[in-house]
Amino acid sequence: MFVRIVGLSCVALGLFLCATLDTSAQDKDKKKRTGTVTGEIKSSKATPNGKNTIIEVLAPGEEKARAYRVQYDPKVKGPIESVLKAVRAAKVGDRVQLDWIDTGEGLAITKFEVLTKK
């Protein structure tokens, strides 16, 4: 009886370890989500510290606008300067196209272009 309990415990421990090791390997191989969106700027506001800008873009077919901010550049320890300049120049109502990446903290703009001005 004791041998069965020890054997079952070892099997359960082995399955648990295999499951946790497998998920950590999947996390390392997981690529970040990226994409391109074309839509209309619905709002634009500065972040609380004033170093970045958050815009909300409504893409065709979506009911709600999504929030985007400019990607952080570790070389300058701030947002990507050229993208930030373009985002701040765009006005509410402009039709834009942007490339984004999911940083885990939100969606960040890596490339930005104004297609038509309102």
CATH label of the domain that carries residue 108? 2.40.50.140
For the record, the structure tokens of 1 come out as 């009886």
8 A C-beta contact, residue 100 and residue 69: no
pLDDT tens digits, residue range 23-55? 544 455 468 899 999 999 999 999 998 889 999
Q: pTM value?
A: 0.70
Q: Is 14 helix (H, G, I), strand (E, B) or coil?
A: helix
- CA–CA gap between residue 83 and residue 113 (Å, rounded): 9
Percent of the chain at pLDDT > 90 equals: 58
- CA–CA gap between residue 7 and residue 12 (Å, rounded): 9
Burial of 83 (0-12, 13-18, 19+ CB in 10 A): buried
Residues 38, 21 share a domain: no
Nearest to 33 by CA among 110, 117, 90, 115: 110
Residues 45, 26 share a domain: no
Give the distance from CA 99 to its chain's centroid.
11
- pLDDT given at position 75: 87
Residues 42, 20 share a domain: no
* List of the chain residues with pLDDT < 70: 1-4, 6-30
Query: Total structural domains in the chain?
Result: 2
Expressed as residue numbers, the domain containing 11 is 1-30
Residues 38, 26 share a domain: no
For the record, the structure tokens of 4 come out as 């069965």
Q: Is 98 helix (H, G, I), strand (E, B) or coil?
A: strand
